[in-house]
Amino acid sequence: MKKSLLIILILSTSLSFGQNKSSLSENTSKGFQLGLTASPDYCFRTMPNYFEVPKLGYTFGLNTAYQFNQFFSLETGLHYSNKGTQTSMLDLVFIQPEPLVPNQAKYIYNYHFIDIPLKANFTLGSRKIRFFTSVGLTTNFFIKETQTNVYVYSDRTEINTISPNFTDFRKVNFTPTLSTGIDWSLHPNVNLRVEPNFQYSVFTLTKTPSTGNLFSAGLKMSVYYRLH
């Protein structure tokens, strides 16, 4: 009789522990998350101009996500991004050398956007470090263009930034996004995501014949906090 009572007690304790563990796992895999994100971006424009080369841009902002279960979540946010392109260093050749004229020049074109991403995250695994893939669409609202000019003289280098008054940029564009990476649980309420991501704009940057689509590849790093 005592052995039977002991077995029943052990089984009931094990079932209770399993239910609590399952309930805890279910609770921590659902709900809203708030996050901060930042990404260095390798940017260029698909324009047939051999003078243009990629430039380093960046993206940063706020994210919010809803975790439906441990495998699927939807995410949106509000980001600021700097994309664009630049020329290689150009040699300026003059018939008569002028000491007051630069020998070389480089032009960096910065396109500033407010971005609103919407993406779906698919996660695999149940350990602290898991793998995930994301697909989505980002709406890009054009803010302004700035141009940084680099002039190399025989005795100095001058750098200045201007805001060209060119008004034919598309005010709204759309960028499909694709990324894959790891999700690292640092704490039951805090997780870190690192994901290489790729973006390519649906429409060209301007409505003129001399234009191109923007492309970027970056390494996005995000920290999320789970709300209860």
> Could you please report the per-residue DSSP string of the chain?
-HHHHHHHHHHHHHHHHHHHHHHHHHHHTSEEEEEEEEEEEEEEE--S-TTEE-EEEEEEEEEEEEESSSSEEEEEEEEEEEEEEEEPPEE---SS--TTS-SEEEEEEEEEEEEEEEEEEEEE-SSSEEEEEEEEEEEEEEEEEEEEEEEE-SS-EEEEEE------B-SEEEEEEEEEEEEEEEETTEEEEEEEEEEE-SS-SBSSSS---EEEEEEEEEEEEE--
Asked if 37 contacts 59 with a C-beta cutoff of 8 angstroms, the reply is yes
- Confirm whether 152 is domain-assigned: yes
- Confirm whether 165 is domain-assigned: yes
Alpha-carbon gap, residue 187 to 128, rounded angstroms:
9
- Confirm whether 60 is domain-assigned: yes
pTM attached to this predicted model: 0.81
- Confirm whether 23 is domain-assigned: no
Q: For strand 190-200 and strand 172-187, is the pairing parallel, antiparallel, or unpaired?
A: antiparallel
- Confirm whether 82 is domain-assigned: yes
Q: What is the CATH number of the domain that holds 68?
A: 2.40.160.20
The length of the chain in residues reads 228
Q: Structural domain tally of the chain?
A: 1
Sole residue written with tokens 């047939």: 48
- Confirm whether 19 is domain-assigned: no
Structural domain including 61 reads 31-226
pLDDT tens-place values along the chain, 228 residues long: 545 544 444 444 444 434 444 443 444 568 999 999 999 999 988 776 667 889 999 999 999 999 999 899 999 999 999 999 998 888 877 666 666 788 889 999 999 999 999 999 999 987 889 999 999 999 999 999 999 999 988 788 888 888 887 778 999 999 999 999 999 999 889 999 999 999 999 999 988 777 889 999 999 999 999 987
